[in-house]
Amino acid sequence: MSRWIKNIADIAVIVALVIAAKTAIAEPYYVPSGSMEPTLQIGDELLATKFPYGYSSASLPVFVTLPESQRFLGALPQRGDVVVFRWPGDRSQIWVKRVVGLPGDRIEMKDGRLWINGAAVGLKPDGVGQNESEDGSQEQVARFIETLHTIFKHATIGQFDNTPEITVPAGRVFVMGDNRDNSADSRIPLEWGGVGLLPVSDLVGRVDALVGSWDLTAKSQPVWEWPAALRLSRFFTAVK
């Protein structure tokens, strides 16, 4: 009996260490949608580093969902950080977007272009890219360099390409997807299925790297063809 008790205790210690590491250091997450294309692709597995922004109930492993709490050892993201967070509409869901506005910033969209504090963010054309949908279909879209990262933008002006200027309040950040016409983000109110102004307490961590990537369309192919769907060029690459 004592041997069984020792084995159970050893397993409990291992589980506790894994949970502690996932809470305090980093945790992998899977990208199910194209809202952050071209930076993140459907099927990417990313690594969220948790300590840069401090800790709250949002920092617990994804399978543990607790009510919102205050952060300790907290720090704000930097503008431009790609962040993982718990969606305020259902904290069991993990989303990923880019921070474009910090507390006190004035954010506005004009004809599809981002303005911060009364100035248009740098934008230059960068050819075209392949926008992949969740069903595996693809279409060509315009690609732009916005300051230091790349975004996708469709040619038409959409409903959320012109928004009134809003000042980000304390304790919130403004997040957007790099695939501007395929992202439910801070431009869209929470009650409409967007993010609204994201509470800092819902931040999980900063996305620093990809650990793997797999083309999900391969699921419909024979098993022996699945290895060919691994995007080896994206393994262990930095996310900017």
Catalytic residues: 35, 97
CA distance 23 to 196: 25
Helix, strand, coil percentages (3-state) for the chain, rounded to 5, are 20, 35, 40
Lookup: tokens for 33:
């949608």
Nearest CA to 207 out of 73, 98, 102 is that of 98
Three-class secondary structure of residue 75 per DSSP:
coil
Lookup: tokens for 186:
């801070």
Three-class secondary structure of residue 190 per DSSP:
helix
Cross-strand pairs, 146: 123, 149
Nearest CA to 82 out of 36, 142, 26, 143 is that of 36
